[in-house]
Amino acid sequence: MRSQNIIISSTDRDRLLKLIDSARLDRRIAWQNIEALERELVRATITSPEELPRSVVALNSTVWLRDLDTEELERYMLVLPHEADVVRQRISVLAPIGTAILGYRLRDIIEWPVPQGKSRLEIVKVSQAKVGCEADTEGLLV
């Protein structure tokens, strides 16, 4: 697992700060999730959207995660809460796993708490959403 900061574009940071402000007024959203996202933004390196590496998980990215214990592979798109849809594999950036993957890069390993201890997830592919289309950044690592 890399110890360096996560990377977030200034555009995503601005959108997420607005989300945090509005989420504070919504009692349906757990304050722990809001605070976790705030902590991620504080530790993030902010870059212009043009300079954001294509291998970084950003809003509207599709990411493939491999569970290093079970070898199970899952695909998610990271979205704002109003776009979340479990059936379509769209996870909210305010969901704990959504916050956890934000700003990480291809090949990074994320430790994720589970009832049995910790799960280790590796980012094996990232596709950045472009205007009107989705572009692969790397082939799937298997």
Give me the architecture of the 7-130 domain, per CATH.
Roll (3.10)
Is 50 exceeded by the pLDDT of residue 77?
Answer: yes
Place of tokens 């919504």: 26
Indicate the pTM of the whole model. 0.84
Predicted confidence band of residue 119 (pLDDT cuts 50, 70, 90): confident
Cα separation of the two ends of the chain:
18
Rounded Cα distance between 49 and 61, Å, is 13
Residue spans of the domains in the chain: they are: 7-130
Q: Residue 1: its pLDDT value, please?
A: 41
